[in-house]
Structure 1
Amino acid sequence: MKKIAIITSHPIQYYAPWFSYITSNADFSIRVFYLWDFGITECVDAGFQKAFQWDIPLLTGYDYEFIPNVSPDAGIHNFWGLQNPTLVSQVKAYEPDAVLLMIYNYASIYRFILTWDARQAPLLFRGDSHRLLPPTGWKAWIRQKFISEVYRRFGACLYVGKANYDYFTYHHVPSDRLFFSPHAVDNHRFLASLTTAKQQATTWKKELDIPDNHKVILFAGKFEDKKRPLDLLQAFLRAELNQTSLLFVGAGPLEKELKLQAAGFSNIYFAPFQNQTMMPRTYAAGDILVLPSYSAHETWGLAINEAMCLSRPVIVSNLVGCAQDLVHPGKNGLTFPAGNVSALVDCLQIGLANSEQLNSWGEKSREIISHYSYAQATNGLRKALNYLA
């Protein structure tokens, strides 16, 4: 059985279940090498601006190692936040047949790429970057040349969606070295919780004082600039929807401003950060999920996957990485130009036009998301390994 070393920054709630799935179902074995221990103990998240610890297991069902990180400012917020001098030696001791990198733009990873002997164990890369908001100027040209050189060191690359595929080809990765390994969440956990989540959501909305006869527009995530929750608030106020409430779930630096602008409106509600076990209930509380991000850093938007598992229709901006893959306009949701509040108003008015349409869109969401699972992600990795072989 082939041995695959996987290098990534820290335990992540979306990836840990995938690693467990691979271990139980794949015809190759893995060991995950973590460069930072965020998420397994209570830590402050800069985006949510609060301390928490994920409440689902992140280190069970698969083999892993933590590589000591000597950075005085550990984290993924800066280039020097991952400094792991023993990374090469620890991966080498595992004697892998191939190495999959899930990140690259950090000090430790560049050192690894430059010193690793790819003739003994070829390198693969799986990323989710896109160019939906393309950079301009001479710096962008230099960056393209540099990143293209980095990708030349990989024998194959895994792309998570259409925008990510275009990103790789822009950096001159040949199409025969690209393999589809879609971004996915633990579909099984969300799908299995649908009935219970709906029951919990009914109770929760009563606790929040949301009227029983109101449709609910949901925003769930960090209250930060790139996700543009203020755009959604303004669009909601301008849309003047009857018997409809807006629910913001989360926390972050824009929370005070959001609540200030929402003051005096009886149909706008706020709920605090919800941990992973409460996310099915969160999505079930909404009739439609909106993600209006305006940023090159909204590389996918896995909240959309989660909501679609709960049969929710979705509205996303065209700069959300998953827009081309998961949102089929007029079938399970709508897209709009990022930053265009008037266009978002139109989407809200169309999306909330009638309950029958919402239900139809929700069922289509569930059908679409069945093709974005850990099984498909693993199959893409398997195809890349076979190509290298």
Structure 2
Amino acid sequence: MSPSIRLAILASHPVQYYAPMFRELAKRVDLHVFYAHSATPEQQAAAGFGRAFEWDIPLTEGYSFSFLNNISKRPGTDWFGGCDTPEIYDLLKGGHFTVVLTLGWHLKSMIQGVFAAKRLGLPILVRGDSQLSTPRSLMKRWVKALAYPILLRAFDAALYVGKNNYNYWRAYGFPTDRLFHSPHCVETERFARGATLEARSALRKRLNINPASFVVLFAGKLLPFKRPLDVVRAVAMVRAEGLDCRVMVAGSGPLEAELIHEAKATEVPLDLLGFQNQSEMPAAYAAADLLVLPSTGRETWGLVANEALASGLPIAVSDQVGCGPDLANDGYVGRIFPMGNIRALAEAIQACLAFPPSYQAVARVSDAHSIEAACAGIIESLSDQVNRLSGQSKNL
């Protein structure tokens, strides 16, 4: 990559999943990240985590960044107007950037960045995980079918994170030669280092879990669209057939009381870890035998599945979860079941219990969705933009 390429990334706020990718990308290009919002611990709690907290891994180290001046009357990332940063035009103009990458278009700040890039004649790229199965009204689908084939052409290239995301772009007629694969990723090495046999033994011992028990893990906020009660109900079916199986939950949220009630009613052993910060999650994955993600289509990817695989853990996800076709379609390392079908989920758990995948098989799937792979797709798209700009210069 040419050192003359200067990349600006427009992001909503520091996120634990993106920071490692930014650090790696900064080794390869002249990078600056613009954040539209700085979330407070209280806003983290309001987002569904159930408690105020700060992430315990560095989110703004190893790359150049700045926070934009957010003039929204109600700052936040939970609604379109929560990030309003009109200064982005002047910053892009004065920063001598070559290409702009926005991580979606769901906030006013990002739309402002798109318009600014267009006014400045800068190529604008986008990376996100939108998929067609996300719940939306008939009217909204109709409007998007008419408008998006035109509006999405504002982007000079799109970085798709997986098969569902690729199909989304193609459904709206986006050209294939402007699509580049940059898979959703996590810091695989960190999870692999932490998910040790020692960590497994220590957490199981602390929770008084029999070494022979099969542990099904739910990791995430306890929200209705994530359907955590499905996990308890499916494990109840598995236990009814005489198998030693229990549920572990790494997360908190409004459904916690209901989850406890369901476990008691069905006599399913339940281990509630509560909210687990990033440094604590590898031990949770190590102590489990299977991650289950039973969400609706609102789960446009499900990065806990990446984390589980990086920790050597197989996964079972609903057919509405975005990562399914990429991470769980082999029926061995990953299994897919119809969303809301408790019997099918129970069968997926039993299949994993009877035929657990090898560590090597899990690692192969995880490695294909590494930070390096994600950055390679971004670099490829930047090279394409450089070549296109070079071609335009030659034709002038």
Report the TM-score, using the length of structure 1 for normalisation.
0.93
Please name the residue that 2:198 is paired with: 199
Superimposed CA distance per residue, residues 206-263 of structure 1 (whole angstroms, 9 cap, x where no aligned partner)? 2112222211111111111111101111111122252221111210111111011112
Deviation larger for 371-380 or 8-17: 371-380
Please name the residue that 1:17 is paired with: 20
The alpha carbon displacement at 1:95 in A equals 1.3
1:358 is aligned with what amino acid? P
Q: Does 1:139 align with 2:140?
A: yes
Write out aligned runs for 1:172-191 (5 A): 172-191=173-192
Please name the residue that 1:378 is paired with: 375
Please name the residue that 1:228 is paired with: 227
2:230–2:294 CA contact under 8 A, matched in 1? yes
Give the distance between the partners of 1:270 and 1:44, measured in 2 at CA. Answer: 18
Please name the residue that 2:262 is paired with: 261
- Equivalent pairs, count: 380
Give the distance between the partners of 1:229 and 1:184, measured in 2 at CA. Answer: 23
Please give the secondary structure, in 1, of the residue aligned with 2:65: strand
Stretches of 4+ aligned residues off by more than 4 angstroms: 39-43, 133-136
Give the distance between the partners of 1:95 and 1:43, measured in 2 at CA. Answer: 34
Give the distance between the partners of 2:139 and 2:273, measured in 1 at CA. Answer: 44
Please give the secondary structure, in 2, of the residue aligned with 1:32: strand
Superimposed CA distance per residue, residues 129-153 of structure 1 (whole angstroms, 9 cap, x where no aligned partner)? 1113564623311123333333111
Write out aligned runs for 1:89-100 (5 A): 89-100=90-101
Deviation larger for 370-379 or 177-186: 370-379
Superimposed CA distance per residue, residues 283-303 of structure 1 (whole angstroms, 9 cap, x where no aligned partner)? 0010111101112x2111111
Give the distance between the partners of 1:231 and 1:266, measured in 2 at CA. Answer: 12
Give the distance between the partners of 2:137 and 2:74, measured in 1 at CA. Answer: 31
Please give the secondary structure, in 1, of the residue aligned with 2:45: strand
2:223–2:255 CA contact under 8 A, matched in 1? yes
The alpha carbon displacement at 1:280 in A equals 0.7
Superimposed CA distance per residue, residues 173-216 of structure 1 (whole angstroms, 9 cap, x where no aligned partner)? 11110000111101121223343xx3123111221122222111
Give the distance between the partners of 1:192 and 1:93, measured in 2 at CA. Answer: 42
Deviation larger for 134-143 or 281-290: 134-143
Please name the residue that 1:8 is paired with: 11
2:218 is aligned with what amino acid? F
Please name the residue that 1:127 is paired with: 128
The alpha carbon displacement at 1:118 in A equals 5.8
1:322 is aligned with what amino acid? C
Which 5+ residue runs of structure 2 have no aligned equivalent? 387-396
Please give the secondary structure, in 2, of the residue aligned with 1:51: coil
1:4 is aligned with what amino acid? L
1:179 is aligned with what amino acid? F
1:363 is aligned with what amino acid? Q
Give the distance between the partners of 1:365 and 1:6, measured in 2 at CA. Answer: 32
Matched-pair identity in %: 37
Please give the secondary structure, in 2, of the residue aligned with 1:52: coil
Deviation larger for 36-45 or 221-230: 36-45
The alpha carbon displacement at 1:72 in A equals 2.3
Please name the residue that 2:394 is paired with: none
Give the distance between the partners of 1:266 and 1:4, measured in 2 at CA. Answer: 51
Deviation larger for 39-48 or 223-232: 39-48
Please name the residue that 1:350 is paired with: 351
Superimposed CA distance per residue, residues 69-108 of structure 1 (whole angstroms, 9 cap, x where no aligned partner)? 1212211211111111212212222110000000212222
1:314 is aligned with what amino acid? I
Give the distance between the partners of 1:104 and 1:247, measured in 2 at CA. Answer: 36
The alpha carbon displacement at 1:15 in A equals 0.5
Please give the secondary structure, in 2, of the residue aligned with 1:157: strand
Superimposed CA distance per residue, residues 303-350 of structure 1 (whole angstroms, 9 cap, x where no aligned partner)? 111110111111100111110011133321211011111211211222
2:36–2:67 CA contact under 8 A, matched in 1? yes
Aligned counterpart in structure 2 of residue 283 of structure 1, from 282, 285, 298? 285
Give the distance between the partners of 1:309 and 1:62, measured in 2 at CA. Answer: 24
Please name the residue that 2:78 is paired with: 77
The alpha carbon displacement at 1:110 in A equals 2.1
1:39–1:54 CA contact under 8 A, matched in 2? no
Which 5+ residue runs of structure 1 have no aligned equivalent? none
Compare the two structures and name the one with the higher helix fraction: 2
The alpha carbon displacement at 1:19 in A equals 0.6
1:5 is aligned with what amino acid? A
Superimposed CA distance per residue, residues 1-56 of structure 1 (whole angstroms, 9 cap, x where no aligned partner)? 110000010001011111111112x1x21100000012689843421121010000
